[in-house]
Amino acid sequence: MGPLRILILAALLYIGYRLISANFKKTDDKKKKDTDSTQSGGAITDVLVEDPVCHKLVPKQQAHLLELDDQKIYFCSKGCCDIFVAEREKTE
């Protein structure tokens, strides 16, 4: 774990933050245009899902997915997913 890794991680977090805030701005500024372009593009990147463990909103494409029975649950990270699974096993 060198300082370079931390730098890369910080850069990734910053880029992610920029992307999310850019998407929020877009929907505010030109809602009409966006609905047309996002549907034709096919890639929906700005769908946010809520992590049930830490209640953070994460972009669906970057979320950690857990499929339970026929339910899909999204987490911000594998760590939160592990917590959720552990809590579930405790109550059962």
Query: Of 7 and 54, which CB lies nearer to Zn ion in the complex structure?
Result: 54
Q: Are 23 and 37 in contact (CB under 8 A)?
A: no
Angle at 43 between CA 42 and CA 45, to 5 degrees: 150
Query: At closest approach, how far in Å is the CB of 34 from Zn ion?
Result: 28
Query: Of 73 and 80, which CB lies nearer to Zn ion in the complex structure?
Result: 80
List all residues 6 or more positions away from 20 whose beta carbon is below 8 Å from its beta carbon. Answer: 46, 59
80 sits near Zn ion (criterion: CB under 5 A): yes
Residues within window 58-77 making contact with Zn ion, judged by CB under 5 A: 76
Query: At closest approach, how far in Å is the CB of 65 from Zn ion?
Result: 13
Residues within window 27-56 making contact with Zn ion, judged by CB under 5 A: 51, 53-54, 56
- Collapse the DSSP code of 64 into the 3-class scheme (helix H, G, I; strand E, B; otherwise coil) and give the result: strand
Closest-by-Cβ residue to Zn ion is 80
Kindly list the residues in this chain that would bind Zn ion in the complex (CB under 5 A).
51, 53-54, 56, 76, 80
